[in-house]
Structure 1
Amino acid sequence: MKRSTVIALVVGALSIILIMAAVSSYNGLVSSETAVDNKEAQIDTQLQRREDVIPNLVNTVKGYAAHEKEVFQSIADARSKLAGAGTTEEKSEANAELEGALNRLLVVVENYPNLKADAQFTRLMDELSGTENRIAVARQDYNNSVTTYNTKIKKFPAALFASMFGFDKKTFFKAAPGAETVPEVQF
Structure 2
Amino acid sequence: MHRPFVPVAAVLALSLAGCGVNSVPTAEENAKARWADVQNEYQRRADLIPNLVATVKAAGAQEKAILVEVTQARASASQVRVSPDQLGDPAQVAQFARAQGAVTMSLQRLQEAYPELRSQGNYTTLMSQLEGAENRITIARRDYNQAVQDYNTRIRTFPDAIGARIFYGAKPLTPFEAVTPGAETAPIVNFGNAS
Could you tell me how far 1:162 is from its partner in structure 2?
1.7
SS of structure 1 residue aligned to 2:21 = helix
Partner of 1:134: 136
* Letter paired with 2:173: K
When residues 166 and 80 of structure 1 are mapped into structure 2, their CA distance, relative to the original with a 3 A threshold, is: farther
Partner of 1:178: 182
Q: Of residues 21, 29, 34 in structure 2, which corresponds to 1:26?
A: 21
Q: What's the Cα RMSD here?
A: 2.5
Could you tell me how far 1:74 is from its partner in structure 2?
2.0
Taking the TM superposition and a 5 Å limit, the aligned residue runs for 1:77-92 are 77-87=72-82, 88-92=93-97
Taking the TM superposition and a 5 Å limit, the aligned residue runs for 1:29-178 are 29-87=24-82, 88-110=93-115, 113=116, 115-164=117-166, 165-175=168-178, 176-178=180-182
Matched-pair contact (CA < 8 Å) for 2:45–2:133? yes
Structure 1 unaligned spans of 5+ = 2-8
Distance 1:105 1:74 in 2: 9
Deviates more, 1:94-103 or 1:73-82: 73-82
Partner of 1:6: none
Structure 2 unaligned spans of 5+ = 83-92
Normalising by the residue count of structure 2, what TM-score does the alignment of the two structures yield?
Answer: 0.79
Matched-pair contact (CA < 8 Å) for 1:50–1:131? yes
Could you tell me how far 1:144 is from its partner in structure 2?
0.7
Q: In the TM superposition, what whole-angstrom CA distance separates every residue of 1:78-100 from its partner, at most 9, and x where no partner exists?
A: 21222122223332121111111
Distance 1:144 1:81 in 2: 27
Could you tell me how far 1:185 is from its partner in structure 2?
4.7
Equivalenced residues, count:
176
Could you tell me how far 1:18 is from its partner in structure 2?
5.5
Q: Percent identity at matched positions?
A: 35
Distance 2:107 2:186 in 1: 17
When residues 94 and 62 of structure 1 are mapped into structure 2, their CA distance, relative to the original with a 3 A threshold, is: same
When residues 108 and 29 of structure 1 are mapped into structure 2, their CA distance, relative to the original with a 3 A threshold, is: same
Query: Which structure has the larger Rg over C-alpha atoms?
Result: 1
Normalising by the residue count of structure 1, what TM-score does the alignment of the two structures yield?
Answer: 0.82
Could you tell me how far 1:131 is from its partner in structure 2?
1.0
Q: In the TM superposition, what whole-angstrom CA distance separates every residue of 1:130-176 from its partner, at most 9, and x where no partner exists?
A: 11111111111111111101100111222232233122111111123
